[in-house]
Amino acid sequence: MARWISEEPGEEAALLDALGISSTDALFADVPKKARIGRMGVGPAREEPEVVAEVDQLLERNRPLSKFASFLGGRVTSRYSPAAVDSIVSRSEFYSAYTPYQAEASQGMLRTLFEFQSLWVEMTGLDVANASLYDGASAAGESLLFCRRIHEGSRFLVPASLPWEERSVLENYASGPGLTVATVPYDDRTGRLDLDFVRDAVAKKDVFGMLADLPNGFGHIDEGVPELKSILGDIPLVVAADPLSLSVLEAPGNYGADVVVGEGQGFGIAPSFGGPLLGLFACRKEHVRSAPGRIVGATLDTEGRRAYALTLVTREQHIRRSKATSNICTNESLMALAFVVYATVVGPRGLARLQTTIAEKARTLASGLGAIDGLKSPRFDAPYLGDFTVELTRGSAEDFLDRLRRRKVLGGHSLKDPRPGATPGPDRILVGVPETATEKGIQKYVRAAQATVGAAGRSS
């Protein structure tokens, strides 16, 4: 068994002696007999090499992304992370620490989080970022509650193209205070938000906020987003932005966004079957006391040295309890470290280069697929930076993806809500092009798609 508990001869006896008891049984005398359990049934202990072998055996039943030509996109990406990032994240002074409640003992993590906050502020053009939330979707959920704290109303507008998972998360966050998530339709050709619909909704005076995502749930860049604020007026605008896209796209704060949230996983964090991820949140300074989550502030020590501490804590659950701005306690600090180290290693110009390279590869793939009879690619006539939507004119998305998989191509994921009872949508696939995609891999996808759609055509 593992050596994680000291078993020095006589040690436990000495502890028991000091307490004047002969067995640890006496320490559980306060647990009533009727509440006791027998065996839990978790099996025998294993030595370290056995554990390694058993976990490895399980992991062998996974086929990692490297075994495929992979084009999975969405909020979770498989971007390459320089080895230096994990080297820093692996330092146990960081990863084995708790929340920096004792500022003096935790300046390393506090300073890192301050740098992380600063970076998200620079990227978004807003004033204040928090020290992270769970993931992009829950950050969007928190932004909904935040908007309601700074503006009256009962409806929160979101694009109809929002991924179903995020929509579900938002509906949960809205349900507590009895708020409604309302859908803004999109133009069928471009996927763009229907701005007239937004105008009409605003005129009803019950909208307390709106979220627009860049790229949107179809992977495309909606040119109408910068116009939203002039329609919304003093109703807060939340932009859910992919951080890499902000290396080339205008900072949303500069066109009126009041909140910018995002999923930070693509910056130095492995996909790991979907977690841990990283929720990003920034807002304007005038609203900071309504913001959720931990915030690190700069101050001084008694000798006038620059020092950092968790601050504005009266917003938080451990002080304000049921009146807190959020219940969040544990966040994703270590992932915030990965984010800032990744961005600093790659550098601002490197990020922009990376984004333009990915966009170029995406255009090659999208037009390659677009030449195939049976596929509409890209489905929407709108710009894109790496993800885009393909629509099948015959056959099902699931079947198409399954056939691709047999040819060692992970061609994307279906945009359908898989829950029974969900409105059946068209057969659309979100394709994501990673930076590591090669010309060979792109051609492999195109050929596999051709063969697959051809086969589907014959069988139907």
Q: Which of residues 63-82 bind other proteins (CB under 8 A)?
A: 63-66, 68, 70, 72, 74-76, 78, 82
Residues 368-407 that bind other proteins (CB under 8 A): 383-385, 401-402, 405
Residues 146-165 that bind other proteins (CB under 8 A): 165
356 touches other proteins (CB under 8 A): yes
- The residue from 188, 234, 303, 439 that contacts other proteins (CB under 8 A) is 303
- The residue from 22, 320, 393, 425 that contacts other proteins (CB under 8 A) is 320
- The residue from 37, 188, 439, 458 that contacts other proteins (CB under 8 A) is 37
Which phi and psi (to 5°) does residue 435 adopt?
-60, -25
Residue number, 111 or 155, with CB nearest to other proteins: 111
Residue number, 332 or 427, with CB nearest to other proteins: 332
The count of residues interacting with other proteins (CB under 8 A) is 200
456 touches other proteins (CB under 8 A): no
Query: CB–CB of 416/339 below 8 Å?
Result: no
**Least distance in angstroms from the C-beta of 319 to other proteins:** 7
Residues 190-209 that bind other proteins (CB under 8 A): none
**Least distance in angstroms from the C-beta of 414 to other proteins:** 9
Angle at which helix 107-124 crosses helix 333-346, to 10 degrees, equals 60
Pick the stretch among 181-189, 201-209, 217-225, 232-240 that binds other proteins (CB under 8 A). Answer: 217-225
**Least distance in angstroms from the C-beta of 245 to other proteins:** 9
223 touches other proteins (CB under 8 A): yes
143 touches other proteins (CB under 8 A): no
Pick the stretch among 57-65, 183-191, 195-203, 445-453 that binds other proteins (CB under 8 A). Answer: 57-65
Q: Is 266 exposed, middle or buried (0-12, 13-18, 19+ CB in 10 A)?
A: buried
Chain position carrying tokens 């301050």: 114
**How far is the C-alpha of 46 from the C-alpha of 115, rounded, in Å?**
42
Interaction pattern, residues 404-433, with other proteins; x per rule: CB under 8 A: -x----x--x----xxxx------------
**Least distance in angstroms from the C-beta of 423 to other proteins:** 14
11 touches other proteins (CB under 8 A): yes
Residue number, 29 or 439, with CB nearest to other proteins: 29
297 touches other proteins (CB under 8 A): yes
**How far is the C-alpha of 292 from the C-alpha of 144, rounded, in Å?**
11
Residue 416 CB neighbours (<10 A): 18
- The residue from 28, 234, 439, 440 that contacts other proteins (CB under 8 A) is 28
> What's the chain's length in residues?
460
Q: What is the DSSP letter of 247?
A: G
- The residue from 69, 79, 106, 452 that contacts other proteins (CB under 8 A) is 106
Q: What is the DSSP letter of 43?
A: -
Pick the stretch among 180-188, 243-251, 366-374, 388-396 that binds other proteins (CB under 8 A). Answer: 243-251
Q: ω before 434 within 30° of 0 (cis)?
A: no
**How far is the C-alpha of 153 from the C-alpha of 147, rounded, in Å?**
9
- The residue from 69, 79, 137, 390 that contacts other proteins (CB under 8 A) is 137
224-242 in b/e form (b: 16+ CB < 10 A) is: bbbebbebbeebbbbbbbb
**Listing from the earlier edge strand, what are the strands of the sheet with 259-263?**
128-129, 279-283, 259-263, 237-241, 207-214, 155-159, 180-184
Residue 200 CB neighbours (<10 A): 10
Residue number, 43 or 233, with CB nearest to other proteins: 43
**How far is the C-alpha of 190 from the C-alpha of 211, rounded, in Å?**
18
**How far is the C-alpha of 460 from the C-alpha of 448, rounded, in Å?**
18
- The residue from 181, 237, 257, 328 that contacts other proteins (CB under 8 A) is 328
**CA-atom Rg of the chain in angstroms:** 25
Pick the stretch among 199-207, 242-250, 367-375, 441-449 that binds other proteins (CB under 8 A). Answer: 242-250
3-state secondary structure of 443: helix
**Least distance in angstroms from the C-beta of 106 to other proteins:** 6
- Beta bridge partners, 431, equal 72, 388
3-state secondary structure of 150: helix
334 touches other proteins (CB under 8 A): yes
**Least distance in angstroms from the C-beta of 435 to other proteins:** 14
Which phi and psi (to 5°) does residue 413 adopt?
-135, 150
Residue number, 330 or 373, with CB nearest to other proteins: 330
**How far is the C-alpha of 88 from the C-alpha of 71, rounded, in Å?**
28
- The residue from 12, 187, 194, 399 that contacts other proteins (CB under 8 A) is 12
Q: What is the DSSP letter of 274?
A: G
- The residue from 267, 308, 380, 388 that contacts other proteins (CB under 8 A) is 308
- Please report the sign of the dihedral spanned by the C-alpha atoms of residue 111, residue 114, residue 120, residue 125: negative
**How far is the C-alpha of 56 from the C-alpha of 210, rounded, in Å?**
45
182 touches other proteins (CB under 8 A): no
